[in-house]
Amino acid sequence: MKIAAFLPISLCDYPGRVAAVVFAQGCNFNCPWCHNRHLIPRDPAEVPPISEADVLTTLSERRGRLGGVVVSGGEPTIHADLPEFLAKLKAIRIAVKLDTNGSNPEMVDRCIREELVDFIAMDVKAPWGKYDKLTGIADSANGPQRTMRVIANSGLPHQFRTTRVEPLLDESDFADISASIPSASPHVWQDYVPPKF
């Protein structure tokens, strides 16, 4: 998996745990409010990848002080070797949280079935009818709808989360999003904070 960045400690990315964060390079969505726009290109010439071996060594050394590791992005599930990377994390006996936009239900299902993840967070970008407009990708709601069902039925700790981006979304949209969340699943609203450049 191509790693673009590594945060050795975070207090807010894994609910209830002190965690490190691994950021995968590349995303298949192009949301206009993305805070990690530099992670969208799959092969940016100006960003050399970080050594996977170095990340695994650091995590292994800090395992006793960390409650887990978050694999985020970009979008981790676009990488065919994501399961192999997650298996390496599990081999060093550390809890793994996966952040996803939900676009690859088959990959998410595989990671769950192979017991490679302990917690999953999926972004719900918009009401399903507005997905194409806000992700910049045609037919982009199909994958997240299926992934939502996979996650909700997994039995794993999980959450769905939505960034309140106004005026791209309004109160009617927020109501539609809330109605789409499975009744037994947590849903977290996040305020949009424009990046400071």
pLDDT tens digits for range 17-35: 999 999 999 999 999 998 8
Has residue 171 got a pLDDT over 90? yes
pLDDT in tens, 55-80: 999 999 998 899 999 999 999 999 99
Pick the more confident residue, 43 or 182: 182
List the one residue out of 97, 115, 73, 89 whose CA is nearest residue 158.
97
Question: In the structure, what pLDDT confidence band is assigned to residue 37 with cuts at 50, 70 and 90?
Answer: confident
Per-residue pLDDT, 195: 64
Helix (H) or strand (E) holding 190: strand 187-191
All domains of the chain in start order, with CATH? 3-191 (3.20.20.70)
Report percent pLDDT > 90 for the chain.
86
Helix (H) or strand (E) holding 112: helix 105-113
pLDDT in tens, 102-144: 999 999 999 999 999 999 999 999 999 999 999 999 999 999 9
